[in-house]
Structure 1
Amino acid sequence: MRVTIAEVARRARVSKTTVSRVLNNKGDVDATTAIRVREVIAATGYTPSAGAVGLARGRTQTVGMLVPGLTWPWMGDVLQGVADVLEARGYGLLLNTMNRGPDSLAQFARHVSANAFDGLLLVEPPDTLSYITSLHESGLPVVMIDDRGHHPGFPSVATSNHDGAAEAAAHLLATGRTSIAMVTGPTEFGCVRDRAAGLRTHLASTDHPLDPGLLVEGDFTRGGGQAAVSDLLTRDIPFDAVFAHNDLMAVGVLDGLRAAGRAVPEDVAVIGFDDISIAAHTQPALTTVRQPSREMGEAAATMLLDNLTGTALPDAPHVVPTSLVVRESAPA
């Protein structure tokens, strides 16, 4: 059975506070008492927990993380990157989701009030910005991952959404596609605006600008992608490629094209964004822009821990670049 600080205090005939002061080399403990406490510690093999040591020093050795939920396909990779860095540097992770709305936020607020973590990693949940801003302004170190709303007041880690979309457009044009449709995500997200601008800008620099009639707003779901391509097919505007703003919608696009009798890639090439695990296993396998989710988690955790040990947080976002993964749905 693990020896507790209470057991040490009982055997040394002192209070737990006195034991804690001896452990932390406080100078206000009588020398004879301190010797007795240390003798009991040596005899019992007592070792303080990392959490107890952290609290005594004003640190918990724990990082908080607040996310909208765990159902997003790329969230697991972000969490793995965060966990790898924290574990290697002796920190724990206190994960909070917003699955229960106000109740979840209230629970998170209780953790804040209890000083349960030293700094916060954030994938911004809806309706939390003002609260998180107040925490940041009060001195809590905060690093945002995937700054979807473009909040320059927060240190952040992002990926090159604009350049990734431009690379997708360049690939489609290089393979002979001339009429490219785009299925966006919800336009309130910064990544959506960046991806749309990347495709538009590259196409505008060629002889094949984006036709406004080939733009559909989706919802980041597989069903939304299928509905979007069905909508495109009713518009009587020919297209030979589709760029979808995430892989789930791209899979839905494949579903919709198959249902309509359009062959991929012979009739229509398809490119997604994210490179989630399903992308390599669709029929045909999905060409996509790889979002470096795990690397983003690693970079954010490193940035936060470095700040906790004295390194200033950067003013500009740390950008981890995307890369194009070419598969059968849009071959070279």
Structure 2
Amino acid sequence: MEFVLSTDEKKFITENSNTTVTEFVLLGFSDVPHLQWMLFGIFLLIYLSILICNSIIMLITRTDPSLQTPMYFFLSNFSFVEICYVTVTIPRMLIDLYTQKGTIPLLSCAVQLCFVIMLGGMEFLLLTVMAYDRYVAICNPLHYPLVMNSKVCVQLVAACWICIIPVVTGQTYQIFSLPYCGSNKINHFFCDIPPLLKLACGDTFVNNLSIYVASVVFIMVPFLFIIVSYGKIICNILKLSSAGGRSKAFSTCSSHLIVVVLFYGTATITYAQPKAHQSETSGRLLSLFYTILIPLLNPIIYTLRNKDITVALRKLQAKLSIYGNA
């Protein structure tokens, strides 16, 4: 027997099956409830370490006269972006671990996503600018003070912000213009693009296409620029007759290269890999790597592999010990 639904019945079913989502639930680490408090302590310690280490880098690059150069100006800006980047995700995650509730309003989710993408994009652009700075310093040293003067440095940082803000705003608006119905559970510890698109009820082809285009523009193109820059840098370093000069040049570039590989490697896997080949668990682990572990490693990499910063840290320590004994 075939049942025919009336118009009112069809309308009722449609309205109840397409209930508009007004809030999401971040599942986070709910699959390991016995580790919630241990994770809270670990992530809190990591967050404080990131804040302290990057703040120290910002302090010494602004106060130490020997670090008043374009390279450390960009490093200071990079540390500032790192602090903002982790502050967008980790405090919210700590609250969810403490309360064991991951409810987040739709608007808050949109704001978090917007800042995560914006600050992440800024890091990629700043890494590119830092590569350009190293290129000019090593390949064109005579014109370096003229090419990379303070005005140009400020303009380069400002240009990065001007490029990224409208693109990210448009991406966020486009994603949250999609209809979200049914499940509101995000299998992640923050609002990120891949898990959000999985919950969308509408056609996400345009969104996925725009994400790939943005990934090419803000990840692949800068990465190619960095590769070309360092190709020329390495060629010029190898031409140096002094072994000490080659060693110093490599030491100033090696830390930046390590950070570039870490950032671009995880970002390419996360946003450029076809979603059919990426599980939710692997996506969450990769996100954990580039949102928490890499920001923790960056200050360590720049500190341990940079003699100028090491010397500046010793000066700061000496000053603090003098003030402490006074």
Structures share a fold, TM > 0.5?
no
Q: Which TM-score applies when normalising by structure 1?
A: 0.25
Give the number of the structure whose residues are more often strand, by fraction. 1
Q: Which TM-score applies when normalising by structure 2?
A: 0.25
Q: Which has the higher contact order (CA 8 A, sep 6+)?
A: 2
Q: Which of structures 1 and 2 has the bigger CA Rg?
A: 1
